[in-house]
Amino acid sequence: MPLRELSTVALYEAGSALRRWELWLPYVFSATLGLFMVSRGFDAFGGAAAQRFFVLGWIPFSTVTAASLGTITVVLGLSHQSLRYWLSLPLSVRQVVAVKLVMGVTMGLLVAAATLVFAAVGILRSAALISFETALVLLLLTFATSGLLAALSIVVRDITKMSILTILTSAIL
């Protein structure tokens, strides 16, 4: 297994996800705006405990949504893109697909980091939320989301059905 080539291509895909701001910036904006607006409502009507409860649920929800968007983008890209270049690399087809899914995971992590920092600094005003355990949970959540949707995309080819699966995945996870 060519580990050096695999890591080079994976780093390229992670960088590609960061450069595609037109995909992740709207989700960062909508996730932080939704977090701000609704958490202020929970604070006014339910108090600080209700606000904290909502914030702790909103961060994984926005993470799953962004990872789903990234994974669907990758799945559509693999379906409609010429694969000759990717298959010319010294990697197996399974490795190429896994490397392409790095983009979905990167987008999920980017939105997770943005909403986590905004929630900790801007809303809760406590850095206690930012910890190794929280980061590990969000990382595993993005891997699970991307893996689940990639596995389901083999069976489901319609983008409308994939959107419904994304909503169901967000609700379940």
Tens-digit pLDDT profile for residues 43-56 = 777 777 888 888 88
When pLDDT is cut at 50, 70 and 90, the band that residue 164 belongs to is: low
The structure's pTM equals 0.72
Residue 140 burial (C-beta neighbours within 10 Å; 0-12, 13-18, 19+): exposed
Check residue 120 and give its pLDDT. Answer: 83
- Give the dihedral sign, CA 50/51/57/62: positive
Check residue 160 and give its pLDDT. Answer: 62
Residue 20 burial (C-beta neighbours within 10 Å; 0-12, 13-18, 19+): middle
Check residue 173 and give its pLDDT. Answer: 59
Percent of the chain surpassing pLDDT 70: 79
When pLDDT is cut at 50, 70 and 90, the band that residue 127 belongs to is: confident
Q: Are 63 and 111 in contact (CB under 8 A)?
A: yes
pLDDT score of 83 more than 70: no
Check residue 6 and give its pLDDT. Answer: 74
Residue 134 burial (C-beta neighbours within 10 Å; 0-12, 13-18, 19+): middle
Average pLDDT, the chain: 77
Check residue 121 and give its pLDDT. Answer: 83
Check residue 170 and give its pLDDT. Answer: 63
* Three-state secondary-structure class, residue 6: helix
Q: Are 146 and 71 in contact (CB under 8 A)?
A: yes
